[in-house]
Structure 1
Amino acid sequence: MEVVVDVPQFRRIAAEIAARIASGELAPGTKVASTRQITAQYGVAMATATKVLATLREQGLVRATPGVGTVVTRRARPVGSGPDRDLVVSTAITIADAEGLTGLSMRRLAGELGVPTMSLYRHVQDKEELVLLMTDKVMAANPPPALSPETDGWRACVEALARLQWSMYRRHTWLAQAISFTRPLLAPHAMAHTEWTMRALDAYGLDPNTQFRAAVMVANYVRGTAVNLEDEAQAEQESGLTDKEWMRAQQNRLATVLASRQLPMMARAIAADHLEFDLDILLEFGLQRLLDGLAPLLD
């Protein structure tokens, strides 16, 4: 009696694409079909197409590249006794940059390095320690700016550090998800950022508790704004639309909502020719107001 195994549709599609990669038809760096293209080509739902790409990523065959799409990757081969800790952490950062923390697993990382999953535990205890090391490595590569409160003033110092942190979150959209101010990762180079801000405020008569709260308040504001970046990148990857393109596609719906005349203030703002709004503008506006609020305590 022949036994027929019902293979899920997403696995059949993933296997077909994997075979094309194995044959060399899809070479490393080649862009593979997006979720929208898979949906159109195979006549499947968006959820199925998403599972196809997730399966290929889990197998280490593709990776999401911001601004490009999902491309074929090449698995690294173990050299000598295998990768050292620095290579493990650097590779994990590369994966998280492309796919977020949800796309990073010990199995996924091992596949990218071309080593057995269990071999990674010679370098890190678990994923939590891995994320700690990733965070600390990014922070170490971005030391506080070369300013001093004596010559540049406290505001210029705090502002420069906030913008530095924002640029880090822009480059590593997973970083905001990794950082917590209630259960902080004890990453020495991240703690050095807080220390530097406290030092910038130290000559203005604030007690240590107030210095610490002020430093964390500013850092938390930047981080709180940055948590939207990963969702923004994921939405762009899945839809194939930038934020501006998505907003243009919503114009008819927006017009219908505003036509109800229940939101006159928002309607007036949106109708203004000079209205601009994105996360960079929001960050800058809020940062200046936050520093304005600190000024009376220090000036």
Structure 2
Amino acid sequence: MPAPPYLRIVEDVKARVARGELKEGDRVPSTRRLAQDWGVALATAAKALTVLAQEGVVRAEPRVGTLVTSWRPGAGPRAQAGARRLGGGEHELTRERVVAVAVEMADAEGLAAVSMRGVAGRLGASTMSLYRHVRDKDDLVGLMIDAVLGEFPLPEEPPPGWRARLELSARLQWAAYRRHPWLAWVTSLTRPRPSPGLLRHTEWALAAVDGHGLAPDAMMRIHILLYSYVQGIAANLELEQQAQAATGLTDEEWMDRNAPYPALLAQGGYPTFVKVVEDLGGDFELDLDRLFEFGLRPLLDGLALIIERG
């Protein structure tokens, strides 16, 4: 009976280390690269890296990747334990390291791939050791949110004028979503998390429109509207990442194979859509960055009618 795919990946990486193709400190292929090279799901590739970390073959290094340790084939349990310690292990665990590895996993595989067990495995530590640093996965996700928003901090001194302040906040949020697509799916409007990073943007937006004679509910709605605009577009970043992983096709490749839905359009009833598509002549690219830019200025123009009217 053939070995399961994740074990074949594990044995392949070990063999490459044994042959000297991968040396101590070298980066091993990322989860996404392994999934592509082996034709497996991201979860399968992630499981392989977790097993390799548990066996002391690799270690996760935040903002660097997964690196080969001093592990060598045929080493006894004591030597393998030493490799795990050199790779990090429980005695070097910190909250910051746990969060950084969780963010790295979410960036590469999506938030669904992040679990306490998976993060511990990637760190070469026991699952229980993580609970000395975070309460549970929900706590971990909250810390992840603050960590990635902290990469794009709001300045100490805001620019002059409400419009410049709101635009800056929107652009910083977009940059965070762009780098970390999973973020849009854990920042709920209806069930907001008590996140210092998110609350700083709320405070910034409310302070930007304060002093213009607006009612409190209008101030809050302006903040929510701008936040929803950025988050709503950003939600498609994670969806596209998941779709590419599942199909192996980029959005353009998928559209080439499926657009313009011939069977559906053949039924009739969509004359305007057909006309617009024909007039475009295939010269339309749904670029989310351009869409964000396209709508931001008109949105701020519309808010000006409310804010400057007071």
Tell whether the structures are fold-level matches, with TM greater than 0.5.
yes
Q: Deviations over 1:72-128 (max 9, x none)?
A: 764772368221111111111111111111000111111111111100100010011
In structure 2, how many angstroms separate the alpha carbons of the residues matched to 1:141 and 1:72?
21
Query: Closer, same or farther in 2 for the Cα pair 1:268/1:23, shift >3 Å?
Result: same
Amino acid corresponding to residue 12 of structure 2 in structure 1: R
Q: Deviations over 1:160-214 (max 9, x none)?
A: 2112111110100111111112221111122011111111111321133321221
**Could you say what the CA RMSD is over the residues aligned between the two structures, in angstroms?**
3.0
Q: Which residue of 1 aligns with 2:172?
A: 164
The reply on whether 1:269 has 2:276 as its aligned counterpart is yes
CA contact (8 A) 1:60 1:73 kept: no
The reply on whether 1:298 has 2:290 as its aligned counterpart is no
**TM-score normalised to structure 2 length:** 0.76
CA contact (8 A) 2:9 2:45 kept: no
Give the % identical residues. Answer: 40
CA contact (8 A) 2:41 2:246 kept: no
Amino acid corresponding to residue 208 of structure 1 in structure 2: P
Q: Which residue, out of 84, 94, 101, partners 2:94?
A: 84
1:1-299 correspondence to structure 2 within 5 Å = 12-24=4-16, 27=22, 28-30=27-29, 34=35, 38=38, 52-53=44-45, 55-59=47-51, 74=68, 77-78=87-88, 81-145=91-155, 148=158, 151=160, 153-251=161-259, 254-271=261-278, 272-273=280-281, 275-299=284-308
Query: Which shifted more, 92-101 or 20-29?
Result: 20-29
In structure 2, how many angstroms separate the alpha carbons of the residues matched to 1:169 and 1:296?
28
Query: Closer, same or farther in 2 for the Cα pair 1:283/1:94, shift >3 Å?
Result: same
CA contact (8 A) 1:145 1:160 kept: no
CA contact (8 A) 1:29 1:72 kept: yes
Aligned length: 272
CA contact (8 A) 2:146 2:198 kept: yes
In structure 2, how many angstroms separate the alpha carbons of the residues matched to 1:148 and 1:33?
44
In structure 2, how many angstroms separate the alpha carbons of the residues matched to 1:267 and 1:38?
40
**TM-score normalised to structure 1 length:** 0.79
Deviation of residue 20 (structure 1)?
1.4
Q: Which residues of structure 1 form unaligned runs of 5+?
A: 1-6, 40-47, 64-70
CA contact (8 A) 1:145 1:161 kept: no
Amino acid corresponding to residue 293 of structure 1 in structure 2: G
In structure 1, how many angstroms separate the alpha carbons of the residues matched to 2:287 and 2:44?
32
CA contact (8 A) 1:157 1:200 kept: yes
Q: Which residues of structure 2 form unaligned runs of 5+?
A: 60-64, 70-83
Deviation of residue 264 (structure 1)?
1.3
Q: Secondary structure at 2:210's aligned position in 1?
A: helix
In structure 2, how many angstroms separate the alpha carbons of the residues matched to 1:222 and 1:51?
29
In structure 1, how many angstroms separate the alpha carbons of the residues matched to 2:256 and 2:156?
42
Query: Closer, same or farther in 2 for the Cα pair 1:58/1:203, shift >3 Å?
Result: same
In structure 2, how many angstroms separate the alpha carbons of the residues matched to 1:53 and 1:80?
23
Return structure 1 stretches of 4+ with deviation > 6 angstroms: none
Query: Closer, same or farther in 2 for the Cα pair 1:59/1:224, shift >3 Å?
Result: farther
Query: Closer, same or farther in 2 for the Cα pair 1:29/1:281, shift >3 Å?
Result: same
In structure 2, how many angstroms separate the alpha carbons of the residues matched to 1:119 and 1:224?
37
In structure 1, how many angstroms separate the alpha carbons of the residues matched to 2:10 and 2:241?
25
CA contact (8 A) 1:136 1:188 kept: yes
Q: Secondary structure at 1:241's aligned position in 2?
A: coil
Query: Closer, same or farther in 2 for the Cα pair 1:228/1:58, shift >3 Å?
Result: farther
Q: Which residue of 2 aligns with 1:42?
A: none
